[in-house]
Structure formats: structure tokens, C-alpha cells
Chains A and B, each alone.
Chain A
Amino acid sequence: MTREHDDRDELARLLPDPADRGLSTHRHRQIQEFLMTEMQPPQRPVRRPRRGFALVTASVLAAAAVAAGAATGGFGLLSGEPGAGADVVATQQPSAETPVAATFRLAAAHAATQEWTDPRPDQWTYTKYWSQEPGPLAEHYRWSGPPVTREWWEKIDGTKVAGPQETERVEELVLDNRLPFLMALPTDPQELLAALREELADPNRMRLDHAMPFSFEPKTEEEWNLALYSNISSILQIGVLPPDVTSALWQAAALIPGVVQRDEIIEIEGRKAVAVSVVLDGWFEVQLLLDPDTHEYVGRRTLYAADHTYGPDQGNVRAKKGEVEYVTIRLDSGIVDKAGDTT
């Protein structure tokens, strides 16, 4: 027996191991989830806009037209009887309405006509979605990969979330979700924007936006616009909120300065979509994707509107114009009785 074993064996004989219990499975998973959330790439210093009013282009004019539409009642009539919204809105079309204003108006109208029964607190939202992170930054951080289809549940009372864990078995996690906050959002678009901004600004409430490839703390108004727009897109992804709230979300998106509509119809996973975007500083674009016929939410996407080179914190990653960083398509959603149920 070596001296190493001599000392170790003797010490083991003298002293029993005091650590005779361990983390519970629940706590183990809770800490793991916490760490996976915390382990994000370093915060990227957000570039300041190079210009002020020089950036105000057709997009702002378009948004102004949308806002004018709202102010003149184009959106304000959406809280009427279910089933009547679309027709009412169609008749309220402002005479100088821009394409992006029309898209948001029709999306809000579509949302307002959806059937709805208030869920019980013990029920869950169910969302099934397809997503992919094919972009250069995702590649740099090695979280890119083939497209995935995932299912996710959130309890209406806000206390739990659930999804397939490592074992592929759906497991409930005791983690707060935003549903109580989202379900109670104001149905006035301006008030809704203010509520979202207040929540985003609260340092005690962690908001992760999976569409953003870098940590993002808005400072300038342009950055706030992007953050709010991306936030709205993430809320719409849930797909199961009261129709008046969903409608107000579309109206609120229309009020964000800088919204532009892309001309082309794109196709992702067999779904045709029209993209309505906000662009940060001319290079980073967040898109809401809508069905071109029904104006229903399809998904969201982030991509590069211009070539861009990140700073050293992001490994000086170079992105080319048109490269997609993140894209997701909602496949299904609904209210179910328990985690694991589908619609």
C-alpha cells in the first residue's frame, strides 16, 4: 500500500464523511435553470445612434400615419362585440393609410374577433413552436444548430412553467411566469406601451428576450423602440391572451416609431408571411411575421439589415446583410387543463 493510500485510508477510518445528504432533485433542477439563464454572453455595449432626426425617414412617417389612424378612431373601435370587429375596422380605414398601418389595423381586427373564455387559474397555456438560430453570433457562441420544434406550458396563476426536460418527459418547474401581468395588460395601446416599458425598466424583473442575440438594456429612445417591439413580438408568440389584449398589442406595436413593412412575401417552414420591422441603428432588425391573408400572427425573426461587425465582447463577429440570427414560427397554442396536454 502506498503512503498516499495509507494517509487517505487512515483519515477515512478516523472521520466519517459528514456530507450525508444532497440537493433534492427539485432544487438541483431549479439551480440548473437559474444558471442556464445566467450564463449568457457578455453584455454588448449598444451602439449609440449616429444621427438624431436624420434617421427619421419614411418609417417614422408611416408610424405617424398609424398613430393618426389610432387617434382618429381607426383602432379605437376594436373593443366592440366579438365578430363585428373586422367589419367595423374595415369601414374605418383612414383615407391616407400606409401599408404598415393597414397591416396592423387588420391584425388587431383579426385578434379582436377570436373566441375567448377566461381560463381558470389552475389551467395552463400551451404553445408549440418551431425555431432556429442560424446566425453568425449564435454560431460564435455555439448555440446554433438545426431547427427544433418545442412545446411549452405556463400556468395561468403565474406560478409554474413546464416543458420537456433532459428526459424528454414534460416536467413542471416552480418558476414565475408573466401570465398574470400579461392577462391584465391595459387594452388602451398607449397605456399598454407604458406598462410594458415600466416592466422592462424594472431592474428586479429579469426579462430574457430570446430573439435578441445579445444582452440588451435600452437607453436611447431608438433602443427602447426596438426593445418594446421585440417584447410585443414575444408576447404575441404565446398566442393565448384575451382578444382585447392581443388586439391592443397590435395597436401598440403600430404606435412604435420606426416600424416599416417589407415588400416581399417570405416563406418559412411552409408558412407565407409578411414582415413588419423595427431596425436598430440601421443594422439590427426585429420582424413580426404575419399571415398575408388573415393577418394572424405567424412568428418573429431577427436579422441583419446591413453588414455589421460586433465588438471584442462578441468576438468581433461579422454579420452580413440579410443573415438571420433567430427565427421562430408558432405552430399551435391553446388553453389546456394540465402541463403535457395539447390542444
Chain B
Amino acid sequence: MRARIRAGDRDAFRDLFGEYARAIHHHAYRLTGDWSTAEDVVSLTFLEAWRLRERVDPDEDAGPLRAWLYGVATNVARNVRRAARRHSAAMARLPRPGPEPDHADGVATTMYERERLALVRRAMARLRKNEREVLTLCVWSGLGYAEAAQALDVPVGTVRSRLSRARRKLAGLVDAGGLSPVAKKAEEIREPAARPGQTRRDRTNAVRFAQENTR
């Protein structure tokens, strides 16, 4: 696979996209907090991967290409505008999302989900960018320390220390009452029943109003 990617084998890139596009999309959202930007990051990541294909380690024993691709995606997410400028001609040809609800507005409109997202955003804002990247890679994307180190091009010890620091900060936030361990909370919070006549949009707006007042 590495040899095929290095050689610019388009079928190999198609396979790579099929295997990782959704994971990269999630990763990009975790880093940018915006689904639309995350979608651009997906396209830019694979355009960058194509451009940088010859830099892939040719050693087939180096394992799957996941770490390399996550590294490219993380770099793109750090500065989406720069990547977009580099590929501006191509991105201009990317079809805009159609009328299909790609990110259906009904998906995350429950009170619980809105609250949960607000909570995560608040917590993430307390972390440094490099701590967010390590957290995203190791905790949510499931990369091991060594893979995350490879993706970020830093020593494994740096990954370990950043993750440890992130944990301490978030634990401190819990102690200060600013964050509740939601793995438990998830079982407790239920969406309140809609009042007669209340629409989903009403509830969404209500939650948004609440979020804005908690920032």
C-alpha cells in the first residue's frame, strides 16, 4: 500500500479515502468545532496527501498509513486557510453540498446533545492547541501514543506528557465544578418532553440561547 501511495496509484488513494474519510472528518470536527470546516479539511487532507505522497515512509513494515494521514489532517486543521489557498483552484471545483441534509439538522438538536457539545467545547477551550491535538488523536481517534507521536512528528514522551497535562487540567475543571464526568451524566440526562405546540426549532433556539449565556 505504501508503495502504491508513493507511486500515485489513484486506486490506492480511493481505498485510502474509503477507509479513512469519515474518521478524518470526525477528527477535523473535533479540532475545528465546525462541521462545514471539517468537510473542507477532509478534501484538503486528501489533496495534501496526494501532493505529499512521495514523503510516505516506503517501509511496508511501518504499519498502516493511518498515522501519516492523521498527521496531514492535523496540519491542515491547524491552518485551514493556508491549505485552502494552496488548493484554491481545486477547491473551487468541489461541488457544494446539495440540498441533502448532509449534517441533518435534526441529528444533534436534543437538549442533551446540545448541552454535551457545549460542555466539550468549554472544556477543550481550556486546553492548549497541542494538548487538544493529542487528546483528539489518542482518546477519540484511538491512536496509540507511538502513532500519535508519528502523526504529530514529536517524541512519544511529548505525547505522553501533553495527554497527562490535559487530563490534569480537565480533572481540575471537574473539581472546580465547571465540568461533570458525562459518561455518568449521559445516563441521567434525558431530553425533556416537548410542550404542546413546541417545535424542534423552538427547543434548538432555546438551547442556543442557554449556551450563549453560559460562555
Q: Give the B-binding residues of A (Cβ under 8 A).
A: 3-4, 7-8, 10-24, 26-28, 30-32, 34-39, 41, 141-143, 166, 174-175, 204, 206
Closest CB pairs A-B (n = 7): A19-B26, A18-B120, A27-B102, A24-B102, A11-B139, A19-B29, A22-B22
Chain A residues near B30 (CB, 8 Å)?
17-19
Chain A residues near B101 (CB, 8 Å)?
24
Q: Are B95 and A23 in contact (CB under 8 A)?
A: no
Looking at the assembled complex, report how far the CB atom of A137 sits from the nearest CB atom of chain B, in whole angstroms. Answer: 12
Q: Which of A18, A24, A37: most chain B CB closer than 10 A?
A: A18
User: Does B123 reach chain A (CB closer than 8 Å)?
Assistant: yes
Q: Are A19 and B42 in contact (CB under 8 A)?
A: no
User: Does B66 reach chain A (CB closer than 8 Å)?
Assistant: no
Q: Which residue of B lies closest to A34 (CB)?
A: B94
- If A27-B102, A32-B21, A39-B50 touch, does A14 touch B10 (CB 8 Å cutoff)? no
Which one, B11, B100, B167, B183, contacts A24 given CB within 8 A?
B100
Q: Are A4 and B160 in contact (CB under 8 A)?
A: yes
**Interface extent on B, as a size class?**
35 or more
Q: What separation, in Å, do the CA atoms of A199 and B32 have in the docked complex?
A: 38
Within 8 A of A (CB), among B136-157: 138-140, 144-145
User: Does B97 reach chain A (CB closer than 8 Å)?
Assistant: yes
Chain A residues near B90 (CB, 8 Å)?
38
Q: Can you list 22 A-B contacts (CB < 8 A)?
A: A7-B160, A8-B138, A11-B170, A12-B183, A14-B171, A15-B123, A18-B117, A24-B100, A24-B103, A26-B100, A27-B102, A34-B93, A36-B13, A36-B14, A38-B90, A39-B13, A41-B8, A141-B7, A141-B9, A141-B10, A142-B7, A143-B9
Q: What separation, in Å, do the CA atoms of A21 and B104 have in the docked complex?
A: 9
Q: Are A32 and B17 in contact (CB under 8 A)?
A: yes
Q: Are A14 and B102 in contact (CB under 8 A)?
A: no
Q: Are A21 and B98 in contact (CB under 8 A)?
A: no
Chain B residues near A39 (CB, 8 Å)?
8, 10, 13, 50
User: Does B52 reach chain A (CB closer than 8 Å)?
Assistant: no
Which one, B94, B160, B171, contacts A31 given CB within 8 A?
B94
Chain B residues near A204 (CB, 8 Å)?
92
Q: What separation, in Å, do the CA atoms of A259 and B68 have in the docked complex?
A: 49
Given A18-B29, A30-B95, 18 more contacts at CB 8 Å?
A10-B167, A14-B170, A14-B174, A14-B181, A14-B182, A15-B135, A16-B182, A18-B116, A19-B27, A21-B103, A26-B98, A27-B100, A32-B18, A35-B50, A37-B93, A39-B13, A142-B8, A166-B18
